[in-house]
Structure 1
Amino acid sequence: MKKLFVLGAGVLLFAFAACNKKDNGPDYDPNAQYDIDSAKIVAYIQANNIQNVQHDSRGLFYQIVKPGGEQKPNGVASVKVGYTGTLLDKSKFDGKDTAYFDLNKVITGWTVGIPKIGKDGEINLFVPSIYGYGPYANGPIPPNSVLVFNVKLYDFVNK
């Protein structure tokens, strides 16, 4: 009886773990999703007549509003920023007048994008979902969402 109970508990634990496993699903293709997101970003940029948007080698779209100082943060810098985050439908999901982050502890879109400006710079980031939260929802952000950020870099400390 005791062996049966332990075996049953083990099966239940395995089943519970399998049900709670984060899975992108068999149809999730990050390259295909990037292509979808890129088309959405280009359409958004055109529809909103946004000028001087650049596209870097990693696939991030960005617009430097103000370049800021010559020295730039590295990918692990501690930064002091003000920002607004919206979805492509312009609904705001987050924003702060002042916030502090380590660039190695935020979404990849920020890790790649923020070092493109210096102190007192400002940038608009158009973040494909693979550089945001991917196929997962995060609070008010649906899965596979393109994120748009306006970020002002007040200060930083490189590590």
Structure 2
Amino acid sequence: MKRYLLLLGICAAVTFSACRKTVQSPFDASQQAKYDDKAIQDYFLLNQITDVTKDPSGLYYHIDTPGTGAHPTSSSNVVVNYTGFLLDETPFDAQSSYYFQLANFDIEGWRIGLPLIGKGGTITLYIPSGLAFGEKGSSKVPGNTCLIYHITLQGFSD
């Protein structure tokens, strides 16, 4: 009888542990990346944008002007002018002569895109949310929001 109760207890424990599920947010990271990619591609289609390159990270970009000379590295201090937009083209931020160290910048899409141009270069970045402010967003940007940045690299130093 003790064996039977022990076996019954083990079966019940296995059954209950197998049924327990981890609670997940509505989108996991790979689902969000797919959603973002579709949203960016829909933006391109709607605005008839065809001259873009997709980085393996998921970042899309267009080099408007390549600039001159060497390109910044992740350890560079850069100075840029930029304007940021949501995919509906609502501007949310703009700055002139904004100075920062690229390696410490919050937006990973910038860390990927800025080294693609030289001094005086301009680039348009189409950034999926995972390479921008992610699920948390920022004070000006809701979570899981794709962004567009028009950036001019004024200069940099290492």
Please report the TM-score for the alignment, with normalisation by the length of structure 1.
0.80
User: If you compute each CA radius of gyration, which structure gives the higher value, 1 or 2?
Assistant: 2
Report 1:64-103 matches (<5 A).
Answer: 64-103=63-102
How far off is 1:45 after superposition? Answer: 1.3
- The AA in structure 1 aligned to 2:68 is G
Question: Which amino acid in structure 1 is aligned with residue 35 of structure 2?
Answer: I
Amino acid at match of 2:133: Y
1:30-56 Cα offsets, whole Å, 9 max, x none, are: 111011001111111121122310001
- Distance (Å, rounded) in 2 between the aligned partners of 1:59 and 1:88: 16
Inter-CA distance 46–70: structure 2 relative to 1 (3 Å threshold): farther
Cα displacement string for residues 108-127 of structure 1 (whole angstroms, at most 9, x for unaligned residues): 01000100111100000000
Find out whether 1:51 has 2:50 as its counterpart: yes
Deviations along 1:49-96, whole A, 9 cap, x unmatched?
223100012211000000111411011211010000010111111111
Secondary structure of the structure 2 residue equivalent to 1:75:
coil
Which has the higher mean CA deviation after the structures are superposed, 143-152 or 99-108?
99-108
Q: Counterpart in 2 of 1:132?
A: 132
* Unpaired stretches in structure 1, ≥5 consecutive residues: 1-24
Amino acid corresponding to residue 140 of structure 1 in structure 2: K
Task: Determine the C-alpha separation between the residues in 2 that align with 1:75 and 1:112.
Answer: 9
* Residue 144 (structure 1) aligns with: 144
Gaps in structure 2 of 5+ consecutive residues: 1-22
CA RMSD, 1 decimal:
1.2
Instruction: Give the Cα separation in 2 of the matches to 1:122 and 1:62.
Output: 11
Calculate percent identity across the aligned residue pairs. Answer: 36
- How many equivalent pairs are there? 134
Q: Which 4+ residue blocks in structure 1 deviate beyond 6 angstroms?
A: none
| Structure 1 residue 152 displacement after superposition | 0.2
